[in-house]
Structure 1
Amino acid sequence: MEKTPTATVLVGVDFGKPFFDSELEELGLLAQTAGLDPVARITCKRRAPDPALFVGQGKAEEIAELARIHGASEVLFDQSLSPGQQRNLERALGLPVNDRTYLILEIFAQRARSHEGKLQVELARLQYLSTRLVRRWTHLERQRGGIGTRGGPGETQIELDRRMIADAIKRTKERLAKVRKQRQTQRRQRERRDAFNISLVGYTNAGKSTLFNALVKAQAYAADQLFATLDTTTRQLYLAQAGRSVSLSDTVGFIRDLPHGLVDAFQATLQEAIDADLLLHVVDASNPNFPEQVGQVQQVLAEIGAQDIPQLLVFNKVDRLPAERMPAVMEDFYDIDGLQVPRVFVSAMRNMGLDVLRIKLAAIAATRNSPEYAGDAAEFGTM
């Protein structure tokens, strides 16, 4: 029997920063991916977050009324809330309140398949939960006792829970460290074979897995949804024009405001991008917000230390473009922060432009062992 999706009100607050999603479209997609049912959306503008309620008393009352009208049983914010704000909002609204960070963690928990992926999600969730004990344990007695006492039983329980979570975080980190050592061994073996390593990176749902499957004839899971792929998959790609094979890895997609806990926890998976010789930066050309998404990917790459790796932009899904936006040529250059990065237009789904992409990859791979490789790398989009 299928579980009925939870009716949810989506809330976004515009603080005047770039890339505010006034329609809350991405949050709605994330909510649906997590199994929620967005029944209403509300946005507002503020100069700064309200310390207690994030949105202020009047807007909180408006959200509560909207939830009542639509029969919602949960409220979801597009920004990260502090534990105190989350607790105060739940009291004011009389409903569970969650934020964007929690939502992404839930999706990752649902989607992780490999042992490594599950460990990474578990670590991120534990680290998130460790900051929320003041909210999760409000059912415990936390009032101070009378004269001569230092605290009630609730405080003892909270300390016990905090210690248990700290122990669980330590154990999970130790298990992840073992997995990372195994990956390092595999990576050293590839290096000894003089492999040329390419990693697919890009905003979530840009079509990385579809492109990966098209290039290496693999069966990696691909779907038109956010975070369809969490676990890294690596295959060999033979490039006839270069007369050699290269290593191609499909990695987790990036997203705006990706929780730092997830970036840290997924360091082992993202290591494939850090150690790559070339990043295939896949972009959804049909998305009107693709410039902002490119910027968000560049930001995450900088966070993980991969900003100096040569890039080749792959503008995917050109089959979805209207006639007036179709590219006149299948390859050119695209400006990122003043640098002209080579770009190829493809449709991985329709097998369009893949021959051009393979020729481009072969040309780049062929320079690997040449003395001019370091100079040529700049030509291929070193950020």
Structure 2
Amino acid sequence: MPNRAWPPSDHTSRSGRLPTEQATTRDVRRWRRHLAEERAEGALYRDLAARRQGEERDILLGLSSAEQRHADHWAALLGDRADHAVRPSLRSRLLGFLARHLGLVFVLALVQHAEARSPYDADRHATDTMAADEKVHGEVVRALATRGRAKLSGSFRAAVFGMNDGLVSNLALIMGIGATGVENGIVLATGIAGLLAGALSMAAGEYVSVKSQRELLMASRPTRVTLEVAPYLDIDANELELVYRARGMGADDARHRAAERLGQHACDCDPSRSAHPAHLPADDLQALGSGWTAASSSFLLFATGALIPILPYLVGATGLTALIVAAVLVGLALLVTGSITGLLSGASPLRRGLRQLAIGYGAALVTYVLGLLFGAVGI
């Protein structure tokens, strides 16, 4: 089907007739819903743009303008009937609220999934261009969300996964110990020991990991030694050329760059061809975060996660009741952490939350069954 330039001067649909003259009550209701949704999405992008600067702000405002063009299409079809206000969907109202109160990356991740479910492909009163616009909007939002995820620090990701580890490991631990039939005091002591051991282990692991990665990045970055020693190099031997070739430049470009450094002539090489994995931007180190920040975040979040399963024992619950309450509390927390990791990875928050819940409960079930078996044989 050929695309039509937007906006169509006669507001014709894909079927080619004039829907304004032959609209049914159902058509009018659907157009009003579309109009409300487009206006809400335009406001959403404007709210996000108000909190950004530079290129991201311009892109978000461009998306808002596109949504306004779509809204104008439905308003033109409705004519005087467009004055009848219809509230946007609960999803759109929730996204608008989040846009005003949460970080950009989380909202964009949710918008990314919303844009992927455009109804215009199946709506004969929407133009081909509008349907294509919505697909492009999804890709624009995906790119913005990806950029935002890349800016998230390593310590934040470590914190999210640290809390999830605390939830699963300590729930599995107390489920296994509790199933053996030991006293509540022993279960509580075991849970506290698991909290401290796991939190300290996570903190130490994150510190070593981040510190080692920072050292690796620093060791891979080129130094300024070539600029310092260039005046003393043998022009005929031109060792400087070998440096640039080792960094990934071609032989000709390396020769010209070395000549420039030695003051022989201006370099006419292509600077972009000097790119090499060793040329790491400073942003890489900034995004990685510090070892102490990652360690403290992991400790606090693991400890917070590991604290949740033992809360029922701290308030005096006993036996099977304490285990059930602990499982419910951990299940709710797993849904939250799973949804957050889903947003960070660009996947469906609900699916990731349910998957995390299944994994956590699966681990707890295995240890609970083992605890029952050990308790039955008196181990």
TM-score, reference length from structure 1 = 0.26
Higher share of residues assigned strand: 1
Q: Larger RCO: Structure 1 or Structure 2 (Cα < 8 Å, ≥ 6 residues apart)?
A: 2
